[in-house]
Chain A
Amino acid sequence: MALLEIRNLHANIDGKEILTGLNLTVDAGEVHAIMGPNGSGKSTLSYVLTGRAGYEVTDGEILFDGKDVIEMAPDERAREGVFLAFQYPVEIPGVTSMTFLRTAVNAVREHRGESVFDPMDFVKYVRERATDLNISDDMLKRAVNVGFSGGEKKRMEMLQMAALEPRIAILDETDSGLDIDALKVVADGVNAMRSPERGMLLITHYQRLLDYIVPDHVHVLANGQIVKSGDKALALELEEKGYAEFLENAA
Chain B
Amino acid sequence: MQPYLAQALDASSTFAGAGVGWIDALRRAGADAYGEHGLPRRRDEYWRYTNLNALLDESFKLSETVPAIGLPTLPHPSVAGLATYRVVLVNGRVQPKLCALDGMPDGVLISGLEDLLAAAPDRLEPYLGQIAPLEDMPMAALNTAFLQDGMAIFIGENIVLDKPVHLISITAPGEGAMMVQPRHIVVLGPKAEATLIETHITATGGSSFNNIVTELQLAEGAKLNHFVFQEEADTSVHLSGTAVSLAAGSFYDSFVLQSGAAIGRSEIRAYLNGPGVDCRLDGVYLGTGKQVVDNTTYVEHAAPECRSRQVYKGVLDGQARGVFQGKVHVMRDAQKTDGHQLSRALLLSPRAEIDARPELEIYADDVKCSHGATAGELDEDSLFYLLSRGIPRTTARRMLIEAFLSEAIAEIPLLAVAEDFSTHVRQWLTGHIDQQADGAGT
Q: Cβ of A100 and Cβ of B386 under 8 Å apart? A: yes
Residues in chain A near residue B412, CB distance under 8 A: none
CA distance A23 to B403 in the complex (A): 41
Stretch at the interface among A30-38, A87-95, A216-224: A87-95
Judged by a CB distance under 8 angstroms, whether B393 is at the interface is: yes
CA distance A89 to B382 in the complex (A): 9
Instruction: Name the contact of A107 in the complex, choosing from B395, B400, B403 (C-beta under 8 A).
Output: B395
Residues in chain A near residue B382, CB distance under 8 A: 90, 92
Min Cβ gap A98→B in Å is 13
> Please, how many residues of chain A have a CB less than 8 angstroms from a CB on the other chain?
29
Q: Cβ of A94 and Cβ of B402 under 8 Å apart? A: yes
Judged by a CB distance under 8 angstroms, whether A57 is at the interface is: no
Range of interface residues on B (Cβ < 8 Å): 20 to 34
Q: Cβ of B387 and Cβ of A74 under 8 Å apart? A: yes
CA distance A144 to B389 in the complex (A): 13
Interface residues of A in 84-116 (CB under 8 A from B): 84, 86, 89-90, 92-95, 99-100, 103-104, 107-108, 111
Judged by a CB distance under 8 angstroms, whether B414 is at the interface is: no
Assuming A53-B380, A74-B442, A95-B399, is B388 touching A84 (CB within 8 A)?
Answer: yes
Q: Cβ of A108 and Cβ of B387 under 8 Å apart? A: no
Instruction: Name the contact of B390 in the complex, choosing from A52, A53, A86, A111 (C-beta under 8 A).
Output: A111
Q: Cβ of B389 and Cβ of A73 under 8 Å apart? A: no
In the complex, which of the residues B380, B381, B385 has the most CB atoms of chain A within 10 Å of its own CB atom? Answer: B385
Judged by a CB distance under 8 angstroms, whether A50 is at the interface is: yes
CA distance A89 to B384 in the complex (A): 11
Q: Cβ of A75 and Cβ of B385 under 8 Å apart? A: no
Judged by a CB distance under 8 angstroms, whether A155 is at the interface is: no
Residues in chain A near residue B380, CB distance under 8 A: 53
CA distance A196 to B209 in the complex (A): 69
Report B379-413 CB contacts with A as 1/0, cut-off 8 Å.
01110111111111101100110111011000000
Report B122-142 CB contacts with A as 1/0, cut-off 8 Å.
000000000000000000000
Interface residues of A in 16-65 (CB under 8 A from B): 50-53
Task: Output the nearest chain B residue to A73 by Cβ-Cβ distance.
Answer: B442
Residues in chain B near residue A104, CB distance under 8 A: 386, 389-391
Min Cβ gap A96→B in Å is 9
CA distance A79 to B390 in the complex (A): 5
Residues in chain A near residue B442, CB distance under 8 A: 51, 53, 73-74
Q: Cβ of A89 and Cβ of B390 under 8 Å apart? A: no
Judged by a CB distance under 8 angstroms, whether A133 is at the interface is: no
Task: Output the nearest chain A residue to B408 by Cβ-Cβ distance.
Answer: A94
Task: Output the nearest chain A residue to B401 by Cβ-Cβ distance.
Answer: A94
Assuming A52-B384, A53-B442, A86-B385, is B391 touching A75 (CB within 8 A)?
Answer: yes
Q: Cβ of A107 and Cβ of B381 under 8 Å apart? A: no
In the complex, which of the residues A79, A84, A92, A94 has the most CB atoms of chain B within 10 Å of its own CB atom? Answer: A94
Q: Cβ of A75 and Cβ of B403 under 8 Å apart? A: no
Judged by a CB distance under 8 angstroms, whether A130 is at the interface is: no
Interface residues of B in 398-438 (CB under 8 A from A): 399-400, 402-404, 406-407
CA distance A131 to B109 in the complex (A): 58
Task: Output the nearest chain A residue to B395 by Cβ-Cβ distance.
Answer: A103
Q: Cβ of A78 and Cβ of B390 under 8 Å apart? A: yes
Instruction: Name the contact of A78 in the complex, choosing from B381, B387, B395, B403 (C-beta under 8 A).
Output: B387
Judged by a CB distance under 8 angstroms, whether A3 is at the interface is: no
Residues in chain A near residue B406, CB distance under 8 A: 94
Min Cβ gap B377→A in Å is 12
Min Cβ gap A55→B in Å is 11
Q: Cβ of B392 and Cβ of A75 under 8 Å apart? A: yes
Q: Cβ of B390 and Cβ of A90 under 8 Å apart? A: no
Residues in chain B near residue A92, CB distance under 8 A: 382, 385-386, 400, 403
Q: Cβ of B385 and Cβ of A78 under 8 Å apart? A: no
Report A160-189 CB contacts with B as 1/0, cut-off 8 Å.
100010000000000000000000000000
Q: Cβ of B388 and Cβ of A74 under 8 Å apart? A: yes
Q: Cβ of A94 and Cβ of B392 under 8 Å apart? A: no
Task: Output the nearest chain A residue to B385 by Cβ-Cβ distance.
Answer: A90
In the complex, which of the residues A92, A99, A108 has the most CB atoms of chain B within 10 Å of its own CB atom? Answer: A92
Residues in chain B near residue A99, CB distance under 8 A: 399
Q: Cβ of B390 and Cβ of A108 under 8 Å apart? A: yes
Interface residues of B in 3-25 (CB under 8 A from A): none
Task: Output the nearest chain A residue to B389 by Cβ-Cβ distance.
Answer: A104
Assuming A52-B384, A53-B384, A90-B382, is B389 touching A78 (CB within 8 A)?
Answer: yes
Residues in chain B near residue A100, CB distance under 8 A: 386, 389, 391, 399
Min Cβ gap A139→B in Å is 17
Task: Output the nearest chain A residue to B405 by Cβ-Cβ distance.
Answer: A94
Instruction: Name the contact of A74 in the complex, choosing from B384, B395, B399, B402 (C-beta under 8 A).
Output: B384
Task: Output the nearest chain A residue to B381 by Cβ-Cβ distance.
Answer: A90
Residues in chain A near residue B403, CB distance under 8 A: 92-95, 143
CA distance A94 to B400 in the complex (A): 8
Residues in chain A near residue B387, CB distance under 8 A: 51, 73-75, 78
Min Cβ gap B143→A in Å is 38
Residues in chain B near residue A164, CB distance under 8 A: 389-390
Instruction: Name the contact of B389 in the complex, choosing from A51, A143, A160 (C-beta under 8 A).
Output: A160
Task: Please list the residues of chain B having a beta carbon within 8 angstroms of any beta carbon in chain A.
Answer: 380-382, 384-393, 395-396, 399-400, 402-404, 406-407, 442
Q: List 10 A-B contacts (CB under 8 A).
A: A75-B392, A75-B393, A78-B390, A94-B403, A94-B407, A95-B399, A95-B400, A95-B403, A103-B399, A107-B390
Task: Please list the residues of chain A having a beta carbon within 8 angstroms of any beta carbon in chain B.
Answer: 50-53, 73-75, 78-79, 83-84, 86, 89-90, 92-95, 99-100, 103-104, 107-108, 111, 143-144, 160, 164
- Give me the 5 closest cross-chain CB pairs, A-B, nearest first: A94-B403, A78-B390, A104-B389, A90-B385, A74-B387
